[in-house]
Amino acid sequence: MRARLRYALDRRRLAMSGLLAAARHGLAAARHGLAAATAALAPPACWSCRAPVAAGQALCSACRAEVRFLRGRCCPRCGLPLPCGRRCPGAGSTLDRAWAPVAFEGPARALVHALKFRGALGVADVMAAQVVATAPRGLLQSPAVLVPVPTHAARRRARGFDHAEHLARALAERTGLEIARCLVRGGKPTRQAGSSRAARRAPGRIDVRVRGDPPMSVVLVDDVHTTGATLEACGGAVRRAGSYTVCAVAYARALS
């Protein structure tokens, strides 16, 4: 009797998981179909200034020219342009290295917001292209494994996607690196925007946990590096779980 009951429950769980997967697939297909229909009715627009652009373009030529790339000498530890201040943000960090190609301002900020808050998933490929084109030598090469910074489950459900995971996928397609989804967020959702640096970096504010064994060489992937609180929490988690090398790559870096 117990065996039959367990068998029936297992079949029900499998059926439910199949229905959920089908529902997610249907939702994604509907979203892409709606985007295609909208593009057919109205010409695509620049995500920064809303000027008309060609299909597949995220920014107009004028806004692309305004993206501020962080060229020149940068701190090899924190990634900020030198001099990086009286106290380097990378001092005592759980990260061996942090880097981002552009400043979090103007059109670059518009791209980040388009991906995170407006569901413009195609923008992730534009961001990944700029990351890969300017990445320091060796940073995005094997044996490194891409580890997306996890979005809290509540926010992922509300948005219907994980923006850092989409960016990691785009980077994987361009570099051939593997992705390890080994981090999960616990606790309550935290709002970083508008919080002070001290509040963001308060101990225990960001609860990140490791699922399974993390890669030995980790490259954390996120859209923006601001105070570094989330990246530090992720870096500490994989360090404690056994990762040996931990770097961080974000698309944009806040300079203040």
pLDDT tens digits for range 183-214: 999 877 665 554 444 444 445 568 999 999 99
* Domain-located, residue 224: yes
| pTM to 2 decimal places | 0.78
Would you state the pLDDT for residue 50? 93
The domain that contains 232 carries what CATH number? Answer: 3.40.50
Q: Can you tell me the distance from the alpha carbon of 169 to that of 164, in angstroms, rounded to the nearest whole number?
A: 9
234 belongs to a structural domain: yes
Give domain status of residue 44, yes or no: no
Q: Quick one: pLDDT at residue 214?
A: 95
Query: Per the domain annotation, does 45 fall within a domain?
Result: no
Asked if residue 6 is part of any domain, the answer here is no
Full residue range of the structural domain in which residue 198 is found: 66-253
Percent share of the chain, pLDDT over 90 = 57
Nearest alpha carbon to residue 184 among 153, 229, 230, 138: 153
Q: Is residue 227 part of a domain?
A: yes
pLDDT at 10: 47
Is 197 within a domain?
yes
DSSP assignment of 160-215, as one string?
Answer: TS-HHHHHHHHHHHHH---B---EEEESS----TT--HHHHT-TTSSEEEE-SPPP
- Phi and psi at residue 124, in whole multiples of 5°? -60, -35
Number of domains in the chain: 1
